[in-house]
Structure 1
Amino acid sequence: MIVAESGGAAQERPEATLEVAVLVASEVVCAGLETLLSRLPAVAGVRVIAPELDGLPERIEPADVLIVAAEQWSLLDGRTDVSGLPSTLILGDDLYERWDGDLSVLPVDGFLSLKELSMQTLDDALKRVTVGEMPIPASLAKRLLTGGRGRAAAPTHGAIPLTSRENQAFLLLADGLSNKQIARCLGISVHGAKRLVGSILLKLGASNRTSAVITGMKSGLL
């Protein structure tokens, strides 16, 4: 930790360790995002990736986190071995409509709202995604929980269709196992386990493991 003095009191500041890659075609949005990222204490470097098809996987690989605009997701979808991608955040404000409310089909680790983007929301998203949580903007979480309706309905077992693999991972998650332990039990990579956990959190409308377990108990999954 780096200790900074502020008003006579010592404050801990995280070391700059994260390498962030940005895949955003809009020059205005990309420049703004790059500026915000460069001001975050935890970010060591920002690399802008041109939205081209050739050489894309190799240019992403060294990053710890990839931020990709919803419009550019198609460059990755179906072309890249998603298990080899870094932790991935999708940036956009029409995500619910774009994927017809089923965001669980996306092999990503979290979401960012362009309208709500700030140093605070960006810093929070990076912190959460690096510890295995799935950052979701409050507005998007509300849409997912209500299914696009104005009033939330109580979750039921039938309303949360986990795959058999997700069910296996969820039981291990509920037992308190880490992503690494889940990967070992299921015979998959740690990154694969992380994406499974992320999909589970997304389907349950949960921002962390604790709330996922609570939702799972209420809905009869546990």
Structure 2
Amino acid sequence: MSYSRSQPHKPADPSVTDTPMLAVLPNEVTRRGVTSLLDSLGHRHPVTACADPDEAIGWLRREVFGLLIASAAYGEPQLTEVVRETAQSGVKSLLLLDSAEPECIPWIASIPFDGYLMEEDLTTESMAEALRRLEKGRLPIPDALARLFITHAGRSRNGHRGPRIQLTPREHAVLALIAEGLSNRMIAHRFGISEHGVKRHVANLLAKFNCSNRAQAVSVALQQGLLT
């Protein structure tokens, strides 16, 4: 079962929070709840919602969206396909989890989501804060989940035997600030350089780590022992 509150889309503007959004969630109550939260924030575009990841991929190929909200309940294979589609079209992605189980962390960390939300903590305020962080280029992630990610990264680092990625001193400094959640603009201000210069450093980091976004790059850096 799915429902859509979609209307013809205009080209997305640069603001994540002011673009059409797509929610793919298996539970109808959750779909309606997320849609209601977004509506309450004054989001000016109707939210498109569905229960089938394949249907979500179809929407992503037909329409312009700025954000995808997906449930962790679908598991790794289906979410990998959906997020691959968002990466190709430049759509930000938020993963909604009903719980933070340690055994799920390895596959969750392997998919390049742009942020994370816990269903039990979902409120107007938490949704608004997640969207604000995305807008600033920062990583929305609950504290409990962040601790599990760090624990997983530490274990992976201890077992890592591959060659260590080599970074320049400036790239390492930029990486550390990305891990702290600073946006490109904030990093540029910190170093007294242009935002374009920071973007170049970030692009180099993503290329070296073979990652598609900042969150995944931080995860790989932790595994490599490049961050403490």
TM-score normalised by L of structure 2: 0.62
Higher helix share: 2
Instruction: Find the residue that maps to 2:37 and give its secondary structure.
Output: helix
User: CA offset at residue 91 of structure 1?
Assistant: 0.4
Q: Which residue of 2 aligns with 1:199?
A: 216
For 2:216 and 2:163, how far apart are their aligned partners in 1? 13
For 2:156 and 2:103, how far apart are their aligned partners in 1? 26
Q: Which residue of 1 aligns with 2:60?
A: 60
Q: Which residue of 2 aligns with 1:120?
A: 125
Asked whether the equivalents of residues 92 and 112 of structure 1 are also in contact (C-alpha less than 8 Å), the reply is yes
TM-score normalised by L of structure 1: 0.63
Q: Give the aligned residue type for 1:97.
A: P
Q: Which moved more, 1:165-174 or 1:87-96?
A: 165-174
For 2:166 and 2:101, how far apart are their aligned partners in 1? 24
Task: Extract unaligned runs of 5+ from structure 2.
Answer: 1-14, 175-186, 189-194
User: CA offset at residue 110 of structure 1?
Assistant: 1.0
For 1:53 and 1:172, how far apart are their aligned partners in 2? 38
The CA deviation string for residues 60-106 of structure 1, in whole angstroms up to 9 with x for no partner, is: 25111100001235434246445215111110133443524463311
Asked whether the equivalents of residues 22 and 47 of structure 2 are also in contact (C-alpha less than 8 Å), the reply is yes
User: CA offset at residue 133 of structure 1?
Assistant: 1.2
Higher strand share: 1
Aligned with 2:134 (options 129, 133, 137)? 129
Q: Which moved more, 1:164-173 or 1:42-51?
A: 164-173
The CA deviation string for residues 88-139 of structure 1, in whole angstroms up to 9 with x for no partner, is: 1110133443524463311211110000000111111111122221111122
Aligned length in residues: 184
Q: CA 1:50–1:100 in structure 2 vs 1: closer, same or farther (change >3 Å)? A: closer
Instruction: Find the residue that maps to 1:30 and give its secondary structure.
Output: helix
Q: Give the aligned residue type for 1:75.
A: Q
Task: Extract unaligned runs of 5+ from structure 1.
Answer: 1-13, 148-154, 206-214
For 2:220 and 2:206, how far apart are their aligned partners in 1? 23
Q: CA 1:58–1:170 in structure 2 vs 1: closer, same or farther (change >3 Å)? A: farther
| 1:33 lines up with 2:51 in the alignment | no
Asked whether the equivalents of residues 24 and 52 of structure 2 are also in contact (C-alpha less than 8 Å), the reply is yes
Q: Which moved more, 1:28-37 or 1:167-176?
A: 167-176
For 2:163 and 2:129, how far apart are their aligned partners in 1? 31
The CA deviation string for residues 165-216 of structure 1, in whole angstroms up to 9 with x for no partner, is: 976599636244767424654796xxx86x43111334678xxxxxxxxx83
| 1:181 lines up with 2:207 in the alignment | no
For 2:43 and 2:37, how far apart are their aligned partners in 1? 12
Asked whether the equivalents of residues 20 and 43 of structure 1 are also in contact (C-alpha less than 8 Å), the reply is no
Q: Give the aligned residue type for 2:71.
A: A
For 2:168 and 2:85, how far apart are their aligned partners in 1? 21
| 1:103 lines up with 2:102 in the alignment | no
User: CA offset at residue 44 of structure 1?
Assistant: 3.3
Asked whether the equivalents of residues 169 and 197 of structure 1 are also in contact (C-alpha less than 8 Å), the reply is no
If asked which structure has higher relative contact order (CA below 8 Å, sep 6+), I would say 2
Q: Which residue of 2 aligns with 1:151?
A: none
User: CA offset at residue 42 of structure 1?
Assistant: 4.8
